[in-house]
Amino acid sequence: DVQMTQSPYNLAASPGESVSINCKASKSISKYLAWYQQKPGKANKLLIYDGSTLQSGIPSRFSGSGSGTDFTLTIRSLEPEDFGLYYCQQHNEYPFTFGSGTKLEIK
Amino acid sequence: EVQLVESGGGLVQPGRSLKLSCAASGFTFSNYGMAWVCQAPTKGLEWVASISTGGGNTYYRDSVKGRFTISRDNAKNTLYLQMDSLRSEDTATYYCARHLKGVMDAWGQGASVTVSS
């Protein structure tokens, strides 16, 4: 199985700042990485897929980069609604595997 | 609007069975692969199983193979997860998700399953 190592585990930032979350795959997954946001009481939301393709309806302050084994989610100019949990997931092969999550908190 | 609504969760004893359902609306259900993803309390997301558009192809994580069965009824726009021989480690919230080439682009709110005596 492809192991996904996500960092950092916790991240604190202020509205208006930019942050980056990293995800490393245990072997090459080409471009096939997705990012999701999880918030209490809301359905999980797809943000990015294929490494850098922004899902329809997601603000352009979210961006994804990387290929092979190393990927990054960047959120520019943080808004209050951006705080929550973020997960990466490889969608290159079965079994699909997720990173352990990053909790983005308000500083 | 795409909607996925899970039902059928609850408290069940180890070794017993439970069947989850996911009612889909707002899109052509038969055009999409579907999946179940779980999340144990205070843990991260784990993919459980996937099924192709027509139901002919199914895929499972190793820990549920032979115990869980994913199925679908395209006439009823409903996805199912039959969970047999349940173990305490199966305790989790189970999410139904629409998926296309492994990307889960729509999720339900989840159904809670607790396996305990």
Taking alpha carbons only, the member of A54, A16, A19, A18 closest to residue A35 is A54
Q: What is the DSSP string of B12-35?
A: E-TT--EEEEEEEESS-GGGSEEE
Query: How high is the pLDDT of residue A106?
Result: 86
Place of tokens 């991240």: A11
Taking alpha carbons only, the member of A60, A48, A40, A61 closest to residue A89 is A48
Is B107 close to A45, i.e. CB distance below 8 A?
A: yes
Mean pLDDT of chain A: 97
Is A32 close to B109, i.e. CB distance below 8 A?
A: no
Residue A89, chain B, CB below 8 Å: the answer is: yes
Give the closest of A45, A50, A95 to B61, CB-based.
A95
Query: How high is the pLDDT of residue A107?
Result: 84
Place of tokens 């009824």: B73
**DSSP letter, residue B84:** -
- Strand-pair partners of A38: A85
- Strand-pair partners of A46: A36
pLDDT digits (tens, 9 = 90+) for B1-48: 999 999 999 999 999 999 999 999 999 999 999 999 999 999 999 999
pLDDT digits (tens, 9 = 90+) for B45-63: 999 999 999 999 999 999 9
Q: Do the Cβ atoms of A27 and A2 come closer than 8 Å?
A: yes
Nearest CA in chain A to B108: A43
Residues in chain A with CB shorter than 8 Å from the CB of B107 are 43-45
pLDDT digits (tens, 9 = 90+) for A48-68: 999 999 999 999 999 999 999
Nearest CA in chain B to A101: B44
Average pLDDT of the segment spanning A72-99:
97
Count the Cβ atoms, other than its own, within 10 Å of residue B62: 8
Query: Measured between alpha carbons, how far is residue A5 from residues A43, A100, B39 in Å?
Result: 23, 7, 17
Average pLDDT of the segment spanning B106-111:
98
Nearest CA in chain A to B110: A43
Q: Do the Cβ atoms of B58 and B48 come closer than 8 Å?
A: no
Q: How many CA atoms lie within 13 A of B70 on its CB side?
A: 28
In chain B, % of residues over pLDDT 70? 100
Residues in chain A with CB shorter than 8 Å from the CB of B46 are 98
CA distance A93 to A70: 16
Q: Do the Cβ atoms of A56 and A49 come closer than 8 Å?
A: no
CA distance A27 to B33: 25
CA distance A105 to A98: 20
pLDDT of residue A13 exceeding 90, the answer is yes
